[in-house]
Structure 1
């Protein structure tokens, strides 16, 4: 890790500021995505709704989030990255505050829609800022710090909301108000700090992208679709992200069920294994960033998901001892994080400087579709075919992700250019 320490020591103040602001935004945006799971029962009782209705509200957020990925990518690539980041935090935080004050379930749904509208902007605004603020030799490490912060964002809400509720006189509404208020404050800080201390070459899109803004909305949409279809490498990464996300959310959604019902472990031990997978995954993100800056992204991507497949198939076998199964569960849910900086650096390498936001939006759409597909797909499979078949299928998806990324990197040159068009 000496190379990592050396890279950190040589980071400029501007680079450190951008990484810090963007990573802080990543923490908040990921917190917004998982506010409901720790208190689903409480919300159901307070608003007199079913878990299915709360699932609908979460689905509204995911739908809006997916729909607005590409518009935010366009905004970041052609208008103003600072504006995109400010809108992301401002609108998402407003959604959290709406839910905190919601008098009825309809307002909860409206708040979730606002959260989706805000959160949609975090990847399209984050990655162009990171890409232009960091030299190519350390860019994967910057992406890994960003990913580490996102993992922390997933881990914070259960602890924070539980702690606030435990205080006399406070409820989940107070916890949501606190989180939303912090998000608004961070949004203001990001806008002010970027404008005062970060050069225009980092916070503003490249001039060649600006030339497209005079066209009509229809022609811009057509041009955007044409440019996406003309980038098979980015589309390939989007498909890989979809399959890989399906794998990881399949594991994290149902591994507790597997450990309790399949291996006979207690619920506390199974949940501890799930929590540990997030913590270990955060560490693997940093390791993956260091490895990706030292080696090519392709082998990191392939090796990471081969390991995922190995541990998932071990779980699916139902023959490993229960405690060994818990260890396999931790690794199955975390080792895929090694691939995140490699995926992001490959996407950056395949991008022209004027389309980074749009390209990361395409990849994020793939991630979100995978998130949406995994729960109903594997849940139905568990009900109809059992845990062994289901996790065997998850392992098969992991192998498919290896095949997809192997096919992709075989046609991409070491510098990230598409070998079929170079």
Structure 2
């Protein structure tokens, strides 16, 4: 096993940054796209739904492609496809082409999690894997956070088409970065590449659909539902249900997002110092559920609310590296791409369900229900994580008795 170290982590973090730029590019440009395309927000919402549906459908098959053909090849293809899709829309904007673009970008988006995690799992020393996962996740958070400011700024100065083309330029830059001969990505010995060092496991005979993988997929669905309620609907819920001004509600959301990114970095250091990843995740989410319940009660105002939302963000961010370590532990040898691809579909499933549920609550005049629903999903996450932790502990004791 060859460890590629910091160069690999830098490259994969940059790719994950760009992947989140591509995810957020159309949502960030929503205020200016109706003028360019001549459509309303409902049509744009349909386009975003196409992106998530395609991503959900292709993640698992692309995980198989990662393990069969090599993560490097699949990752480069994803970056190229994503970049070309936005360049095509910039060259010839129209609603029909937007739908095609979102389908192609959704296909490209399905590449990143299985390819990124497979490369990190193979190329990073085990003792640094938790911190590496956290930096990888942090880079994605950062990409989401800066995209609206950067691309709305470009649209204001150079036009919306230029902003779309700039998204393609970001992708091309990441593609060039991972194409440098002898770089970190090229130092990873991949199962799917002919002539690579080391034994080639029989990945085709690996049993992937295990109960543990199923549990982790459900866990990813619940994690998405728990956090997306706050990320996407908290501002509307706070303004509509608790009478907060838009400024304070947005300040609270900003605190949540920034502290989430900081929590990811803290969680990475924690993940490398413990093997009880399920317990870490359960404790952090239990505290987050208690604080979210306070928000739902409507007893917090101004800076107190901002502080609590920031604490919720920190706690939900902390669990991200432990979550990834759980998936790594469940992945059969040589099947990291398949495993992360399959489990990551949970995010897209949650992304398709959540907006419908939370939007329905707001339309029915139940804004506090957004936070109540988040608490319910968090509690379910805690229960599932603790059940998984107990199962793994019993399994370990059973294996130890068998060895004796």
Q: For the structure 1 residues 258 and 53, does the alpha-carbon distance in structure 2 shift closer, same or farther, using more than 3 Å as the test?
A: same
Question: Which of 231, 234, 250 pairs up with 2:213?
Answer: 234
- Secondary structure in 1 matching 2:180: helix
The corresponding residue for 1:341 is: 321
The corresponding residue for 2:382 is: 402
Quote the offset at 1:142 in angstroms. 0.4
TM (norm. structure 2) is 0.91
The reply on whether 1:141 has 2:131 as its aligned counterpart is yes
The reply on whether 1:282 has 2:282 as its aligned counterpart is no
The corresponding residue for 2:160 is: 172
Quote the offset at 1:335 in angstroms. 2.2
The reply on whether 1:109 has 2:108 as its aligned counterpart is no
Is the CA contact 1:89–1:186 (under 8 Å) kept in the aligned structure 2? Answer: yes
Task: Point out where structure 1 has 5 or more consecutive residues left out of the alignment.
Answer: 1-11, 213-222
Is the CA contact 2:34–2:41 (under 8 Å) kept in the aligned structure 1? Answer: yes
Is the CA contact 2:252–2:306 (under 8 Å) kept in the aligned structure 1? Answer: yes
- Describe how 1:1-400 pairs up with structure 2 within 5 A: 14-167=4-157, 170-193=158-181, 198-202=186-190, 204=192, 207-209=199-201, 212=204, 227-229=207-209, 231-295=210-274, 296-384=276-364, 386-400=366-380
- Secondary structure in 2 matching 1:201: coil
- Secondary structure in 1 matching 2:39: coil
Is the CA contact 1:83–1:191 (under 8 Å) kept in the aligned structure 2? Answer: no
Which shows bigger deviation, 409-418 or 89-98?
409-418
Q: Over aligned residues, Cα RMSD in angstroms?
A: 2.5
Is the CA contact 1:78–1:209 (under 8 Å) kept in the aligned structure 2? Answer: no
1:154-177: CA deviation from partner (whole Å, max 9, x where unpaired): 01211101221332xx11211221
Is the CA contact 1:19–1:146 (under 8 Å) kept in the aligned structure 2? Answer: yes
1:187-229: CA deviation from partner (whole Å, max 9, x where unpaired): 13313346787335257567544663xxxxxxxxxx78xx333
- Secondary structure in 2 matching 1:198: helix
Is the CA contact 1:76–1:357 (under 8 Å) kept in the aligned structure 2? Answer: yes
> Structure 2 CA distance, aligned partners of 1:43 and 1:376?
23
Q: Report which structure shows greater RCO (CA 8 Å, sep ≥6).
A: 2
The corresponding residue for 1:216 is: none
1:73-110: CA deviation from partner (whole Å, max 9, x where unpaired): 11111221111110111111111212222332111111
- Secondary structure in 2 matching 1:294: coil
> Structure 2 CA distance, aligned partners of 1:341 and 1:268?
32
Quote the offset at 1:333 in angstroms. 3.8
TM (norm. structure 1) is 0.87
- Secondary structure in 1 matching 2:391: coil
Is the CA contact 1:140–1:290 (under 8 Å) kept in the aligned structure 2? Answer: yes
Q: For the structure 1 residues 202 and 79, does the alpha-carbon distance in structure 2 shift closer, same or farther, using more than 3 Å as the test?
A: closer
Which shows bigger deviation, 153-162 or 182-191?
182-191
